[in-house]
Amino acid sequence: MILKAKERGNAPQLAKYLMSMRDNEHVELHELRGFVSDDLADAFQEAEAISKGTKCQNHLFSMSLNPPENQNVKRAQSNEQAKSKMRRRERQSADRQRQRERTRSRGDDLGRER
């Protein structure tokens, strides 16, 4: 199974691409939660609007699952692999954020000592 993950922006374009049968052999929305809308394009518009109030450039996380052509991969198996990779990416992202906060905090402490 080839899993490709990416942090990105441009919510309207991503929603259109993800739901396009022209660009994807198989499209299935497994879950959409934490949004007012239950439609992917509208939910991504919500995310885009929220990101405009921050300095965040890549407020979305997308993942492509590409099984080898000669293998029949069950959906449950691919879901578990995707969830595992997403959890790993979330931990890495949280670690980077904590590191940035520590670096900023040390910078503030150094400024006060002078």
Give per-residue pLDDT as tens, 45-99. 898 888 888 878 888 887 777 777 777 666 656 667 777 877 888 888 888 888 8
Pairing mode, strands 2-8 and 60-66: antiparallel
CA-based angle 97:103:109, to the nearest 5?
135
Give the H or E element holding residue 61: strand 60-66
- Angle at which helices 11-18 and 40-52 pack, to 10 degrees? 160
Q: What is the pTM of this model?
A: 0.53
Domain that residue 39 falls in: 2-113
**How far is the first Cα of the chain from the last one, in angstroms, to the nearest whole number?**
54
